[in-house]
Every structure is written in C-alpha cells, then in structure tokens.
C-alpha cells in the first residue's frame, strides 16, 4: 500500500499531510543550510595560492589564543605584539588580548616596514574562514599568509 493510498483512505484531512510534507521540506532545507554553513567552500579567486589553510584547535576564540596557534609563536611574543599595537582586526588596531574573533575577520600582524617603500608593510595575515564548537574546544578554520604586503599603519613607529 503506497503513501497516497493511505492518505485517500484515512478520515483525516489531507491538509495535515500537506503541512507534514512542507515541514519535511523545511527541515531538509534547514539541514542543507547547516551543511553549507559548516562546509563553506573556499572560492577560487584565480590568484596563485600563497596561503595555507589550517584548522586550529583552541580553548577559546580570544585574539591571543588564535594568534598563538596560527603563527606558532609563544604567548609572550603574541602578547607583546598585541599590546604594542602591532595587531589589527578588520583595519582597526586592537590592543586587548581578550578580543573575540568572529567568522570572516582579517587579522594582520605587523612584522616590519617594507624596505623599498615605507608606506607599505610586511605582515602576517590570518583570515577566519569558519569556526565550530566541539567537545574539546573550538575548531577554527583559517587561511594563513606568512608574508603579505599591505599598507603600513605603523608608519610613525618604524
């Protein structure tokens, strides 16, 4: 006996089944949305791949924890860079270690002024692609550029 035969033979209204099927469609579409959110694809922009995609496992999404894991540097080096104004998130200088990073944030860590043009700077850049909360903490997927040239926001200090 097929599902349509059962619907025709029952005394219940068919609107109940229509709403159930629309409910199933809604649930299925929301599951697809969650799947695409969890597995956001990296869009190929046609440029050469000069970055690394890494998955960081951290206890929190604090700026100091993410920087330490992404750059493989010690806590004291990371802390000194943040407190001295060498770190910016989305073009804004941050001097607090406890700043929480979000998805699609771009974190720049100032390394030095560019030798040929002091209006530019060598930076390490971390792009927060996505993050998920697991049992053992956060799993943060990042793109990491080890050597990138950008505007020199610390022009007076160099």
> How many C-beta atoms lie closer than 10 Å to residue 62's C-beta?
17
Give mean pLDDT, residues 7-11.
45
CATH class of 50-151: alpha beta
Q: DSSP letter at 78? A: H
Q: What is the pTM of this model?
A: 0.68
DSSP character string of 36-72: HHHTPPPP--SS---SEEEEEEES--BHHHHHHHHHT
The strand order across the sheet containing 87-89 reads: 52-58, 137-151, 120-134, 106-113, 87-89, 92-93
Q: Where are the domains of the chain?
A: 50-151
Computed over its alpha carbons, how large is the radius of gyration of the chain?
A: 24
Q: Using one digit for the tens of pLDDT, what is the confidence trace for 41-57?
A: 656 666 567 888 999 99
pLDDT of residue 70: 92
pLDDT of residue 156: 66
Give the span between the Cα atoms of 135 and 19, in whole angstroms: 36
CA atoms within 13 A on the CB side of 81: 23
β partners of residue 121: 113, 150
Tell me: pLDDT of 29 over 80: no
pLDDT of residue 152: 86
Q: Using one digit for the tens of pLDDT, what is the confidence trace for 84-129?
A: 999 999 989 999 989 999 999 999 999 988 888 888 999 999 999 9
pLDDT of residue 32: 53
């Amino acid at each position: 006996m097929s599902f349509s035969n059962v619907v025709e033979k029952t005394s219940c209204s068919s609107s109940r089944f229509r709403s159930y099927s629309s409910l199933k469609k809604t649930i299925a579409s929301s599951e697809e949305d969650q799947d695409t959110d969890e597995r956001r694809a990296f869009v190929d922009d046609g440029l050469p791949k000069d970055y690394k995609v890494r998955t960081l496992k951290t206890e929190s999404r604090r700026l100091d924890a993410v920087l330490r894991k992404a750059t493989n540097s010690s806590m004291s080096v990371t802390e000194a860079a943040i407190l001295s104004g060498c770190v910016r998130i989305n073009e804004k200088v941050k001097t607090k270690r406890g700043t929480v990073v979000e998805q699609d944030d771009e974190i720049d860590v100032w390394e030095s002024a560019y030798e040929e043009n002091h209006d530019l700077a060598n930076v390490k850049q971390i792009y927060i692609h996505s993050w998920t909360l697991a049992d053992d903490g956060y799993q943060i997927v990042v793109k990491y550029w080890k050597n990138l040239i950008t505007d020199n926001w610390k022009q007076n200090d160099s």
